[in-house]
Structure 1
Amino acid sequence: MSRSLPISPLTQAGFAPFGQVIETAGHTPIAINQGYCQRFDDLAKLDVTAKQGRPVLSIFRSQALETPLYLHQMERHLLASQAFIPLGGRPWLVVVAPAGKFARAQMRGFVASGKQGVNFAPGTWHHFSLALEQATDFLVIDRAAMEPDCEEIKLEPAILLEVPR
């Protein structure tokens, strides 16, 4: 039998134990380019240089998953943060658990607006990006290095997400 995981709106405070929410809300813009642009600085704490790592900028294309939605695995990156910023303006799901020994009881689920990204702190357990309505591209900033940095675990039994409608 699967356990169900409720989904809450993504907020800075609710997500703080797992990393940072990447959004302009709550940040003071700096006017640049003769006032035609607003710049929002330092929106996440990127940490990608451990053990000769370097930042890598990628686009991940996530297919929309059908409901009911069951989670079968989680992953973490001990050596680096990993940032996901949606490019399509559509809501998406974020599922996390605290760093350390994986604990199902401490899993949290969030629905992010299409204007919110996340930066997972090093070691934070997370599911891959979960597109809700249709395939969604994500700008991803993470670590590239010779040494792999991805640990995966299977969720047995699977966890049913209580996807908001």
Structure 2
Amino acid sequence: MKLIPSVWETARLTIQDLSENEIHIVQKLYEQGRYIHQWDGGSLDYEYAYRCFTDGDLPPNGTKDKFKIQVIRVKETDTIVGILTTYQGYPKNETYYINYLYIDKEYHKQGLGKEVISELLSFLREYKFGEVRASVAIKNWPAIRFWTGLGLDTINGFYGDNEYRADHYADIELIKKF
């Protein structure tokens, strides 16, 4: 399977592999999204950007060469406004997994996330991937609406706690087949 390019564009954005000198900026952006943990029960990873840059955020038996952490920039200003992390080939070779997408809160509701993922989906179709997956916290209604609106609307499974309580959490894995 062909790898997603190190640099690619949409109408308003440039998406490119994270460089070492951007780790601090990306970590601050990741930490801005800490409110997500109210829905997924996770905790803030104070080394997230560095860990992704050096080791990757890998699935079981995953390899760093199939992992990408990319920054999303507004072309007009060259400002970093988002993060996209993905893994190619998990759990099957023809699967592309979207680990994490975050857009700076100052740029919410401008369609930037949709623009990035729509272009990514075009690449995946062109490169003959069989499916794309994303895992979403069940309590994260905005993300569920976002992903299902982009066609990741088949539930592959539920993971996490078996019953609902305020302090229990679960994820659904969404799939779009090509």
Q: TM-score, normalised by structure 1?
A: 0.29
Q: TM-score, normalised by structure 2?
A: 0.28
Structure possessing the higher relative contact order (Cα contacts under 8 Å, 6 or more residues apart):
1
